[in-house]
Amino acid sequence: MLDKKRKKEEPEINGSSLADIAFLLLIFFLVVTTIDVDAGIGLVLPPIPDETTPPPPVRDRNLLNILVDAQGRVLMDGDIAVISEVRERVKDFVDNPNDRPDLSESPDDAVVSIKTDRRTPYNVYINMLDEVMGAYAELRNQASQARFGVPYDSLEDDSVEQDEINELFPKRISIAEPDEG
């Protein structure tokens, strides 16, 4: 009789607490995870100039000098500008819709050169760079709307359309050589 009773008991591990264990681990990872999106303003630094090969000549009209000085003032081609002006001026300079002789020949030739002082406040620099990026973003968006009828953001990465727009408005942003000392 004893034997019979034993046979009926199936050896089984109680799995009801498995969910609890998994929940505990889940909560641990939820707490530890930092879903911080890495976002920021991307830029490509110019390579160190080779002493044997001089830098390619850039015509004066194709160059827009932006200087952020120690007091946090923005100077564009020598005259003081407010941060909010930067975007429009860069757009005018790059696109040059009225073919003015003192602005860039074509968007492809336009170079924005950025120069800073050692005591330039970082957030002013970022604000200025943001405006420059904004100008390019607007130009690209306009071109994309005109050509494909969709905003630039909705173009697929590395697609033919996006490459075409990028070629039309290449971001030629150059960091000027810092002064010695």
Partner 1 sequence: MSKFKKKQAETKQAVPTSAMPDVVFMLLIFFMVTTVLREVELQVQVEYAQAENIEKIEQKRLVSYIYIGPQRLGNNRLGETKVQIDDTLVDDMGAIRNIMYDKIMEEPRLIVSLRVDQDSEFGIITDVQQELRHAGTLRINYSTLREI
Provide the binding-site residues for partner 1, judged by CB under 8 A.
15, 18-19, 22-23, 25-26, 29-30, 32-35, 37-48, 68, 116-123, 125-127, 129-130, 133-134, 137, 175, 178
Question: Does residue 172 contact residue 147 with C-beta atoms inside 8 Å?
Answer: no
Taking the complex as a whole, the smallest distance from the CB of residue 112 to partner 1 amounts, in Å, to 14
Question: Does residue 123 contact residue 136 with C-beta atoms inside 8 Å?
Answer: no
Taking the complex as a whole, the smallest distance from the CB of residue 56 to partner 1 amounts, in Å, to 17
Q: Which amino acid is at 128?
A: M
Tokens 């173009």, residue located: 155
Taking the complex as a whole, the smallest distance from the CB of residue 15 to partner 1 amounts, in Å, to 8
Query: Which is closer to partner 1, CB of 33 or CB of 52?
Result: 33
**Could you give phi then psi for residue 19, rounded to 5 degrees?**
-60, -40
Query: Which is closer to partner 1, CB of 1 or CB of 37?
Result: 37
Q: Can you tell me the distance from the alpha carbon of 146 to that of 76, in angstroms, rounded to the nearest whole number? A: 29
Taking the complex as a whole, the smallest distance from the CB of residue 25 to partner 1 amounts, in Å, to 5
Query: Which is closer to partner 1, CB of 1 or CB of 13?
Result: 13
Taking the complex as a whole, the smallest distance from the CB of residue 53 to partner 1 amounts, in Å, to 16
The Cα angle at residue 112 between residues 111 and 117, in degrees rounded to 5: 140
Query: Which is closer to partner 1, CB of 61 or CB of 125?
Result: 125
Tokens 């790059």, residue located: 94
Taking the complex as a whole, the smallest distance from the CB of residue 139 to partner 1 amounts, in Å, to 12
Whole-number Cα distances in Å, 31 to 21, 26, 36, 39: 16, 9, 13, 22
E strand or H helix that includes residue 145: helix 122-148
Query: Which is closer to partner 1, CB of 27 or CB of 150?
Result: 27
Query: Which is closer to partner 1, CB of 55 or CB of 178?
Result: 178
Tokens 């490459």, residue located: 163
